[in-house]
Structure 1
Amino acid sequence: MAEVNNNNNNNNIEEESSINLKELLFVMLNNWHYFIICIVVSILIFFTISKFSTPQYEAKATILIKNNENALSQLSLLDNSFGGGNKSNFQNEIGQIQSYTMTKRAVKSLDLYVNYYQKSNFQKIEIYKDSPFLVELDMFKLQTVEHPIKVEILSKDKYILSYDSKENARQYDYGQDMLLEDKINFKGKNKTLAFGEWYESDGMKFRLLMRDEVNSSSDYTNIDYYFVINDLDLITKDFHSTQIDLINKESTIINIAFKYPNQKKAVDYINMLCKIYIDITFEEKNYMNTSTIKFVDAQISNIADSLANAEIKREEFQVKNNSIDLGGDAKFLFDKANELETKRAEEYAKTQYYDYLAKYISSADMDDGVVAPAVMGIEDHLLNNLVKELATRLTLKKSMSITTTPKNVQYQKINSEINSLKSQIEENIRSLKRVSTLASNETTRQLNIFNTELNKLPSTQRNLINIERQFKFNDEIYTFLYQKRAEAEIARNSALPDHKIVDEARVALKVYPKTALNLMIAILLGLLAPALYIFIRFQMNNLIESKADIEKISKAPIIGYIPRIPENESKLVVFAKPKSQITESFRSIRTNIKYIVGKGKNQVILVSSAMPSDGKSFISMNLASVISLSGHKTIIIGYDLRKPKLHHFFNLKNNAGLSTYLIGKDSLDEVIQHTEFNNLDIIASGPIPPNPSELIDSDENAELIKELRKRYDAIIFDTPPISLITDA
């Protein structure tokens, strides 16, 4: 049985819930105009925001990052010791692309020293390459930055330059690439200038040039142009916001995306950034070849003068001595001299390299690449490996310095390994120099023997051999160096970049504001806002507006409905309009009361409500009137002793009434007043007493009701509101 009751309760709850939802739906449908208004307002707000919002365009490019055997492979070994592996390699490359240094190089490469704008409909629009003029800065002069300078084009030859006064203006030194701490103040200017004419004032020096591609038929007058000289640090920060993502986890192809208000500039920047990244990594790959060429060029420059002098002496000797025949002994000494000079040249080149390498590893920065020993003909396996390892780690350090701090664990490990390699190279150099010294000493010993034999020859032959020895020595070194330079040049020119651009940025797509999405959101908000408002108002509504509202808060049966009447109509509607709908409503209530009370019983009815002006008196007098029309003797009593008004509706006096009866001043017959309608009497409230509650609670009131039951078939009490006073 309990289970059945629970099911019934659940059904009632579900039914009530469905009724509530249905009621809520009807409320929303009845307030449809709110939805229309809110949707229109939301769409207007959307279009306003879209109109005045700064658009954002996204440019994308794709780069293939290859795993090479140099930097990435070496870094992989290092990262694996920390558990990073190839993921860390990849992050280093991404970090390098996103670095501030790389961004600034791209900004400089694009010559983004000046921004160009055009005013249109209270908005500033960056026109970038669409500006009819270019601003050429004097890069050797300080420039006032971040201050708008207006340009009014008068013709293709002249324009008006103007700008406002400014205090504490900042200046940028493009030569030193730095923003100055000192600030300047200047007054506004307005000056007519010719295109191509230099302007210098207030910490600025520049000139405007009309673009070559400007169409002579185009009219650029009456258009508000202005430009701003950029603080490179600020403009770099604006561009320092690239987003990089892998296409998928299995590949090393990345997407580089950049958002910016100007469509063309976004495309140019992302393409320039990719180009610079490819160029830098290619430069790093050719680091050793480039360093070798620089080193060899320096050595060639040193030996060139000696070779030229030796060649001049040789030519002068040949001019003076047309033909000299070297005999057998002289020929032998000549060949031996060539052999020894070749050895001496080789040892000299090695010694020069050892000195260079020792100086290189003792320097603090070691920015220039190191030359490999094998390039200089040094075949020592250990030294070649050590120098190669040093070059690799220096490249890694340079790459990591862009993306990490000196406190980074991997960065510190690379520094430690570099220091260890430098120590090993220093020890190896000392050992090799000892070997080279021994070889040089042996060559010197043999040359001393050669010189003793040479002194026995005639002076002409001896001079020829000495000149040839000197020439041979310098020529051997010169030829050797040129050969090594050619090899390094071939290696550099035949190298290919480790990474390549798969797809350049072509068109920057608009990503903000998203018109379709924002319009949908605007419509959704236009629907949601009034729906939420109506829902909250519906949930918080404590007004009684329907039968269901009464049934929710009370178990008392409902005996009828009374519609509202216009304010200007008679309140005694039962007598004024006996055939009206409202009169029929009172007849229905009369019938229901009779059904509830039963036949043959006196009807004692109290009419009250929670608040004033709810219609208590209106209900009381019309209910009494409709009962009297059925032939029942009826009396209505005005129990609102604080605010008497019932007598007004019947045009009766209020000098005697309930209050005078309860205090014993008047008898019952004296306070009962007969109305103009049959079977309907009234006891007015009477004069306002000082103690209404005590009078109503008195025994006289109980006696009054008892006596009236004997005289009348129906007694109607018109009472005050129950929520404000206790009389009711």
Structure 2
Amino acid sequence: MEQNATNSVPQFKPDFVYWIRHYWGLLWRWKWYILPTFPALVVTWFLLVITFGKVRPDLTANVLLGLENQSSVLVLPEAIPNGLGKMKLIHSRNFLSEIVDSLSLNCIFPRYNRSDILNYISVDSTAILGRYRFSIDETSKFSYTVYLTNNKLGVRKKAVTTGKLPSLDTLRTTGITFVFNPLFLKKPVSFDFYVLPKLDAIESLKKRIVITGNTKRDPMQEGIVILSHNGNDPQLISSTLNTIADKFVERNLSFRKRKTSDVMKALNTQLQAASSQLLFDENRIRAFKEENPNVGLGIEAQNAVSNITMLETKNMNIITEIDEAKELINRFEVSAESDDADQITSEALLFLSSRKIPGAIILQQDFNNQLQQKMSLKANRYSPDHPMVKEVQSKIEALKAKTLPLIRDFIKKLEAEMALARNQKSTTMNQLQRLPQKEMQLAALTRQQEINSEIYTNILSRYNQAKIADETEVADIYIMDYSVPPEDASARKELMKLLAIGLLVCLLIAFGPAVAFDFLDRRARSEEDLKRFMAYPILETIPVINSPKEKRKRKSNVNTTASVDPKLLAMGPFVTYVHEIFRSLRAKLNFRLDGKEARSILVTSLDSGEGKSLISSNLAIMMAQQHIPTLLIDADMRRGKLHASFAQEQYPGLSDLLMNQNQLTEEIVQYSIRLTTYPNLYLLTSGTPLENPTELLTRPRFKTLLKWAQMKFSAVIVDSPPLSPVTDPIIINEQVCGSILVVR
């Protein structure tokens, strides 16, 4: 119960004991949901874990790879943030196919580590796919049988091989060879293994391999790549990872050697052709001199021939440079909107920088810096629409726009040089035209021989360089640290972890709805709940008052009638616990109303059926027991029932007084007020029932009536309708000294 007194109320702070009581009551209310649900969930989860649970935990092994020549790797866009451009080979199917074949990874053992059973395994392409069962005869314990099951082939538990355990060392069947571990043969057990399609094994291996580079641009991790592989067989994942690392380094070196070998083959072909041509020229000159022994070239003619040779060699080099530049322009224009634009721009800037083009070196540095910043933002998962990404991209596009004009200017410069060389060659040729015919023929042969000799010398130099490179070629990727088998986690621990997770899930499903509904439920089920929800003082907690089974005679000076509500408190020597509670409530109200001229109290509730009429009646009886005149007013003019509780006539009552058109006099009011069977307790009934008495309560006549009652009676108790359906209590509350809200 609450009163609208303005006394400050300390905020209620629930303690540990309160929450224990609160949730104990909550669980008791939900017992018919929790009791069958929680055990059923626990048993179901336990059975699922035991039957289908993966008790072999996933483990992870790592290999550290080092990358040399980071500057060359950075030319690739995908390699800029972490140096992973060359690592894509590991995820290629051809490469993984070799790993699967070499380690027979298409054969898996779901419940045991491979190394615990076998020392050697070989599964080739002729092996029949399906599930195999190595079964030991439970009766004799000396024989074994291998069964095959393949539903697609219609094969179900077909015996493919059998033998004696004492003589078992190597197991051979179609496409499968097992060499058993001697420790396993000492205590053999039955086990299952599967032979999977090769493509499935490759895809499974590809998903389990993770390549991690220096995504955060940490200087301490520069040039380091971590290769990870996860699985549940520690020895197998470690050996698989080391095999991948070894073959990757070997494959990378073979690629580099293959490139050098191809260059050497091409140069060797060119060298042989140049050598043949040079030999042919030398033979032509020797034959000419034998036919014309008196013909020779003077010093000026020899110088002219040397100049022409030099100019023609220069023209050939210029033409080669121009062709390379034009090829870069074509690639640049074709890939302007593709993903290769950044890479081609890097190649173009590297081409210009190697030719010492002014501004190209600075432009290349700026482009690489912006490209690194772009890839770093991409690695950190910045959106393409992020302002920082857009800003970097705009700078990259600006640098690209400056690259193409530089290449074209370079081509123009080369064309100018080539035109100048042609003019010089034409001038020198004019000098040779003045020579005699035989000397001119000898000059032409000498010029051609010197040109071919220069070509031969250049090819031979390049061939020797390629040969040295091939002899000294080393891998630019090396293994820094091999993988070691990770510590095998306990299957029991993994099982306990799954059971613990299941227990938490079961608790959440069983108790979660109750806690969720309790969080949303604002109903007060105890005095402590009411204190937690409302900031008003709790005056008293009154137990439910039930009707007595047998009528008792009240031994007092009051004439009782049989029709009085038996729930009303009896006056006399029959003092009960309920009497004391109402006396306590009376004392608290007297204390709160002390010092006020009038003592009028409104009693209401939120909904009907919460006991406000019984509370107001018994409170009025306790007030009258103080030997002070007390008036109990039934203000529920719709469904008033206090007249029945006190065995009084309903008419006339409050509604009749308020509807009376005559002037409200003391005689009329006193005529409507009835003396009850309790001393000093008077009752003003509700009167004639009305459908909408709210307008009557707003009239000055009701206010005048309450003022008269407060003057004539020491205590006035008003029993009003509930708050939820009507607004009558709000209107009456303005005319009384205090209010009591009854909450059940």
**TM-score of the two chains, using structure 1 as the length reference:** 0.52
Distance 1:61 1:582 in 2: 80
Match of 1:64 among 66, 72, 81: 66
2:131 aligned residue: 149
> How far apart, in 2, do the equivalents of 1:521 and 1:154 lie?
35
For the residue of structure 2 that corresponds to 1:626, the secondary structure is: helix
Change in 2 beyond 3 A, CA 1:697/1:285: closer
> Where does residue 173 of structure 1 map in the other structure?
none
- Structure 2 Cα separation of the partners of residues 693 and 101 of structure 1: 87
Q: Deviations over 1:525-574 (max 9, x none)?
A: 999x99999899789958696799699878xxx7x712221343775358
Determine the C-alpha separation between the residues in 2 that align with 1:433 and 1:112.
66
Q: 1:211 matched to which residue of 2?
A: 179
Cα pair 1:634 1:713 within 8 Å, conserved:
yes
Letter in 2 for 1:722: L
Match of 1:237 in 2: 206
Cα distance, 1:524 vs. partner? 14
Structure 2 CA distance for aligned equivalents of residues 415 and 697 of structure 1: 94
User: Would you say 1:194 and 2:161 are equivalent positions?
Assistant: yes
Q: Contact between 1:606 and 1:717, CA under 8 Å: does it hold in 2?
A: yes
Match of 1:275 in 2: 246
| Structure 1 residues 627 and 640: alpha-carbon distance in aligned structure 2, compared to 1, 3 A threshold | same
Q: 1:52 deviation in Å?
A: 5.0
Partner of 2:715: 714
Q: Is the 8 A contact 1:260 1:266 kept in 2?
A: yes
Residue 410 of structure 1 corresponds to 343
Tell me how many residue pairs correspond in the alignment: 505
Q: What percent of counterpart residues are identical? A: 17
Task: Name the amino acid aligned to 1:718.
Answer: D
Which segments of 5 or more consecutive residues in structure 2 lack a partner in the other structure?
Answer: 1-7, 29-33, 138-142, 164-172, 280-312, 322-337, 355-444, 454-462, 548-565, 662-666, 730-744
- 2:87 alignment partner, SS class: helix
1:116 aligns with 2:83: no
Q: Which residue, 210, 232, 238 being the options, matches 1:262?
A: 232
Q: 1:293 to 1:662 in 2, by over 3 A?
A: closer
Q: Distance in 2 between matches of 1:89 and 1:709?
A: 89
Q: Is 2:584 the partner of 1:585?
A: yes
CA-CA distance at 1:192 after TM superposition: 1.7
1:164 aligned partner: 151
Unaligned segments of structure 1, at least 5 residues? 1-14, 119-124, 166-185, 197-204, 300-345, 355-380, 390-404, 421-430, 440-483
Secondary structure, counterpart of 2:594 in structure 1:
helix
Query: Which whole-Å CA distance do the structure 2 matches of 1:189 and 1:432 have between them?
Result: 86
CA contact (8 A) 2:67 2:225 kept: no
Can you list the C-alpha shifts for 1:36-64, whole angstroms capped at 9, x where unaligned?
Answer: 999xx9x9899999965884322112233
Judged with a 3 Å threshold, the aligned counterparts in structure 2 of structure 1 residues 138 and 261 are, in CA distance, closer, same or farther, namely closer
1:628 maps onto 2:595 in alignment: no
Q: In the alignment, what sits opposite 1:618?
A: 614
Provide the residue aligned with 2:196 in structure 1: 228
3-state secondary structure, aligned to 1:242:
strand
State the 1:684 CA deviation.
Answer: 3.3
- Quick one: structure 1 residues 259 and 671, their matched pair in 2 at CA, closer, same or farther if it must change by over 3 Å? farther
**Letter of the structure 2 residue corresponding to residue 153 of structure 1:** S
Distance 1:669 1:413, change over 3 A: closer
Distance 1:595 1:112 in 2: 96
Written as runs of structure 1 = structure 2, the 5 A alignment for 1:213-362 is 213=181, 215-221=184-190, 223-231=191-199, 233-245=202-214, 249-250=219-220, 254-264=224-234, 265-287=236-258, 350-351=275-276
Change (3 A) 1:434 1:22: farther
Q: Given the superposition, is the C-alpha separation of residues 672 and 52 from structure 1 closer, same or farther in structure 2, using an over 3 Å criterion?
A: farther
How far apart are 1:161 and its partner, in Å? 1.2
Give the drift of 1:258.
1.4
Q: Call closer, same or farther: CA 1:707–1:410 in 2, change over 3 Å.
A: closer
Partner of 2:402: none
Q: Kindly tell me: are residues 273 and 695 of structure 1, through their superposed partners in 2, closer, same or farther at Cα, counting changes over 3 Å? A: same
Amino acid at match of 1:237: K
Residue of structure 2 aligned with 1:138, choices 125, 132, 137: 125
Kindly provide the CA deviation profile for residues 74-111 of structure 1, in whole angstroms up to 9, marking residues without a partner as x. x37x94xx9x9x98597256534655268525633544
Change (3 A) 1:53 1:152: closer
Distance 1:653 1:257, change over 3 A: farther
CA contact (8 A) 2:628 2:715 kept: yes
Separation of aligned partners in 2, 1:513 and 1:412: 53
Matches within 5 A, 1:71-82: 75=72, 79=75
Is the Cα–Cα contact under 8 Å of residues 83 and 213 in structure 2 kept in the other structure?
A: no
Partners of 1:150 and 1:127 lie apart in 2 by: 16
Residue 564 in 1 paired to residue 542 in 2? yes
Contact in 2 for aligned 1:60/1:508 (Cα 8 Å): no
Q: Aligned pair in 2 of structure 1 residues 410, 662: CA closer, same or farther (>3 Å)?
A: closer
Partner residue, 1:507: 485
2:251 aligned partner, one-letter code: I
In the other structure, the counterpart of 1:336 is none
Amino acid across the alignment from 1:151: R
Return the alpha-carbon distance in structure 2 between the equivalents of residues 194 and 517 of structure 1: 38
Distance in 1, matches of 2:630 and 2:452, equals 147
1:640 to partner: Cα distance = 1.5
1:667 Cα deviation (Å)? 7.2
Change (3 A) 1:21 1:654: closer
Q: In 2, distance between residues paired with 1:661 and 1:704?
A: 9
On the 8 A contact 1:24/1:538 being kept in 2, the answer is: no
Question: Is the 8 Å Cα contact of residues 151 and 160 (structure 1) preserved in structure 2?
Answer: yes
Q: Distance in 1 between matches of 2:528 and 2:487?
A: 57
Structure 1 counterpart of 2:726:
725
1:630 and 1:537, CA in 2 relative to 1: closer, same or farther beyond 3 A? same
CA distance in 1, matches of 2:446, 2:568: 130
Distance 2:121 2:529 in 1: 79
CA distance in 1, matches of 2:261, 2:648: 122
- Residue number in structure 1 paired with 2:87: 95
The 1:191–1:506 alpha-carbon spacing in structure 2 relative to 1, beyond 3 Å, is same
Cα deviations by residue, 1:639-692 (Å, 9 ceiling, x for unpaired): 213223324543556576545666679976675443332111223335644454
Partners of 1:660 and 1:89 lie apart in 2 by 93
* Distance change (3 Å), C-alpha of 1:703 and 1:287: closer
Contact 2:633 2:719 in 1 (8 A): yes
Quick one: which amino acid aligns to residue 267 of structure 1? S
Aligned amino acid, residue 479 of structure 2 = I
Q: CA deviation at 1:191?
A: 1.9
Summarize the Cα distance change of 1:681–1:188 in structure 2 as closer, same or farther, 3 Å threshold.
Answer: farther
SS at match of 1:91: coil
Conserved 8 A contact 1:639-1:718: yes
SS at match of 2:147: strand
TM-score (norm 2): 0.51
Change (3 A) 1:702 1:494: closer
For 1:506, what is the secondary structure of its paired residue? Answer: coil
Cα separation, partners in 2 of 1:26 and 1:435, compared to 1, 3 Å: farther
Label 1:720 to 1:290 Cα distance change in 2 as closer, same or farther (>3 A).
same
For residues 537 and 110 of structure 1, what CA distance do their matches in structure 2 show? 62
Match of 1:645 in 2: 641
- Name the CA distance, whole Å, in 1 between partners of 2:229 and 2:14: 49
3-state DSSP class of the match of 2:210? Answer: coil
The structural deviation recorded for 1:28 is 5.3
- 1:409/1:672 CA distance change after superposition, 3 Å: closer
The corresponding residue for 1:319 is none
SS at match of 1:643: coil
Code of the residue aligned with 1:645 in structure 2: it is: K
